[in-house]
């Protein structure tokens, strides 16, 4: 089966892969959750525009690649919700609200700068940069966590929530493949979680880094799989309701 990264591999890369033992898959484990990483306004803007147009108002935009992925993410979310598989949403923590600068603020990165045009309008857009977009919006009761680092694990209660729900598998959607998705996948693998990256549901503003990072994650830290496979899994899975009111069988805290 052709993969998105094939066109970027050298002859030596291909020879080494052919000579290596077949990769053993991590698989889906016993209980899965979907993690939605950074599907916020700052990376797609308010309208579907090609990358070079989108970045004029939204410097951190991913262009049409982001919108295409969001269309697939809607399908993924529908399958997860129908199966009773929880969805955990991750977005950024605004420095204006917390006093904590984001990890990239020291470098003047795209997401921390205003776009072109009227300064008032640019400031208004900037204030909405971490608003989760409608296409990936959480439903009431779904967990929403905010982070100031690339990884969804560092400095958040994500791991505690997964432990509480008995989750051993994370199905990953969002952006960027070469940044926050990869950081989260590596940390998740380090915590011995099964990481499933849905190829059509993860996106980046650059094609080559997206492809090569998907290749590298598939080689080492995760299973990078097509959306159709994940939907088949969700259609077949039976989820045991979590004892949310009495975690771990205990009726009271303290």
All domains in the chain, ordered by first residue: 29-239 (3.40.50.850)
Comparing 252 with 169, the larger pLDDT belongs to 169
Cα separation, 221 vs 40, in Å, equals 25
pLDDT at 253: 47
Q: Which of 33, 133, 152, 180 does the annotation list as catalytic?
A: 180
State pTM to two decimals: 0.89
Task: Kindly list the distances between the CA atom of residue 243 and the CA atoms of 132, 164, 165, 197, 248, in Å, as whole numbers in the listed order.
Answer: 28, 9, 8, 27, 7
- In the prediction, which pLDDT does 49 show? 97
- State yes or no: is 201 an active-site residue: no
88 close to 145: Cβ distance less than 8 angstroms: yes
Res 107: pLDDT: 65
pLDDT at 228: 98
Mean pLDDT lowest for which of 91-95, 115-119, 179-183? 115-119
Higher pLDDT, 244 or 176: 176
Q: Which helix (H) or strand (E) holds 14?
A: helix 11-19
Q: Is 97 exposed, middle or buried (0-12, 13-18, 19+ CB in 10 A)?
A: exposed
- The tens digit of pLDDT for each residue in 6-40 reads 999 999 999 999 999 998 999 999 999 999 999 99
């Amino acid at each position: 089966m052709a993969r998105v990264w094939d066109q970027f591999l050298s002859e030596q890369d291909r020879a080494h892969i052919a000579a290596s033992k077949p990769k053993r898959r991590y698989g889906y484990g016993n209980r899965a959750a979907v993690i939605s990483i950074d599907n916020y306004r700052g990376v797609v803007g308010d309208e579907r525009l090609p990358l070079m147009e989108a970045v004029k108002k939204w410097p951190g935009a991913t262009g049409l690649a982001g919108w295409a992925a969001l269309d697939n993410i809607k399908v993924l979310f529908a399958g997860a919700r129908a199966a009773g598989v929880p969805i955990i949403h991750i977005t950024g923590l605004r420095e204006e609200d917390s006093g904590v600068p984001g990890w990239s603020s020291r470098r003047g990165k795209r997401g921390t700068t205003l776009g072109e045009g009227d300064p008032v309008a640019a400031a208004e857009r900037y204030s909405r940069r971490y608003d989760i977009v409608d296409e990936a919006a959480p439903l009431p009761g779904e967990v929403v966590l905010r982070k100031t680092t690339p990884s969804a694990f560092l400095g958040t209660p994500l791991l505690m929530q997964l432990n509480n729900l008995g989750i051993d598998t994370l199905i990953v959607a969002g952006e960027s493949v070469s940044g926050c998705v990869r950081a989260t996948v590596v940390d998740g693998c380090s915590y011995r979680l099964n990481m499933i990256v849905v190829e059509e549901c993860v996106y980046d503003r650059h094609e080559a880094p997206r492809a090569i990072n998907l290749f590298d994650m598939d080689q080492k830290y995760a299973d990078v799989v097509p959306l159709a496979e994940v939907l088949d899994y969700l259609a077949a899975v039976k989820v045991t309701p979590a004892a949310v009111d009495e975690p771990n069988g205990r009726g009271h805290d303290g």
